[in-house]
Copies of this chain bind each other. A is one copy, B any other.
Amino acid sequence: MDFTLDTFSGLVENALASLEYPSVAPRLFDPIRYTLESGGKRIRPVLAVAVYSALAKADPADALNQAVAIELFHNFTLLHDDVMDRADIRRGRPTVHRKWNDNVAILSGDAMLTMATQQLTRGAGDRLADLLECFNTTAMEVYEGQQLDMEFENRDDVTIDEYLLMIGLKTSVLLGCACRLGAIMARADKAAADAFYRYGYSLGMAFQLRDDWLDTFGDPAVFGKEIGGDIVNHKKTWLLISARNAEPEDLPAILAEDLEPQETIAQVKALYERHHLGDLCQELALKYSAEAKMNLDNIDMDVEARLFFAGLADRASTRTH
């Protein structure tokens, strides 16, 4: 088995492209095909097959159904989150509720969630109960994360701890779950499954904090999204919360002013730089990458698998897009 991102993501892309859909109401599935063919990093399903492969030392295709399940779940949350956030663009294309309408995004999203559970059961055998326990617990946590994220929009006193809890629930647990599903399929012992879960969780934290950093300090030519979107939307990221803690008067004053977006971005960014918040955010991302790698030490696997997972952890906090 080649332990490369391309190998695993190739397998995942093939599996997603060959999904079959019921045919009574075919239009229900157009938005699902549209969403799945829009790409994305496929990091969650890649983790599931890679963990399976590392632990079972077997054909990663054996865990592909569970990998597809986690990607379907992730894309279902995007469909519904985009309705809730009124987001227009996703992966460079109109979001489903913009291309069709809200009702289509809601109903096709529901269908994706059920398809995810269906996919999870395929080839599960006697591991089904464990897979479902992990999957459902994680799903509930992801909803709780989204709920907190929405509640934070109407609050000005969100703390850093609350923010880290929220991104942990909204993002990191799903990467942890992806790893655990692979471990369960491999019939790994509890210690290995737990260590891989924590690896995935820390990877998710590094990934999200790097995302916050990129949104302000990324290279517009490489990042793929406009820089400063979080600032313009007053999104309570690690950077913005830290800035309000550092400048409880100045930051709200800048945000309250009726400035051109570019001017708001420039002023907030200057405030971030005055307090070295970009560097501090990046340090925290690196700390989570290091934590992720530490968890690998306790798992028995081949050197090429170890290097693969360590590489992913490093990339989470150093990627440019």
Contact = CB atoms under 8 A, between A and B. Distances in A.
A167 interface: no
A118 interface: yes
A136 B110 contact: no
Interface in A136-180: 136, 139-141, 143-148, 150-151, 165, 169
A143 B111 contact: yes
Contacts of A124: 129
B110 A143 contact: yes
Q: How many copies of the polypeptide does the oligomer hold?
A: 2
A28 interface: yes
B144 A132 contact: no
A146 B28 CA distance: 9
Given A27-B147, A121-B133, A144-B28, A110 B22 contact: no
A28 B169 CA distance: 14
A30 B24 CA distance: 35
Nearest to A136: B118
A25 B103 contact: no
A235 to B, nearest CB: 16
B132 A129 contact: no
A83 interface: yes
Contacts of A28: 143-144, 147
Nearest to A77: B110
A113 B103 CA distance: 17
Given A84-B103, A107-B80, A129 B139 contact: no
A66 to B, nearest CB: 14
A142 to B, nearest CB: 9
A20 to B, nearest CB: 12
A139 to B, nearest CB: 4
B107 A143 contact: yes
B106 A83 contact: yes
B110 A84 contact: no
Contacts of A128: 128-129, 132
A111 B140 contact: yes
Interface of A: 22, 24-25, 27-28, 80, 83-84, 102-103, 106-107, 109-111, 113-115, 117-118, 121, 124, 128-129, 132-133, 136, 139-141, 143-148, 150-151, 165, 169
Top-8 shortest CB links A-B:
A25-B144, A25-B147, A28-B147, A84-B103, A114-B139, A111-B143, A118-B136, A24-B144
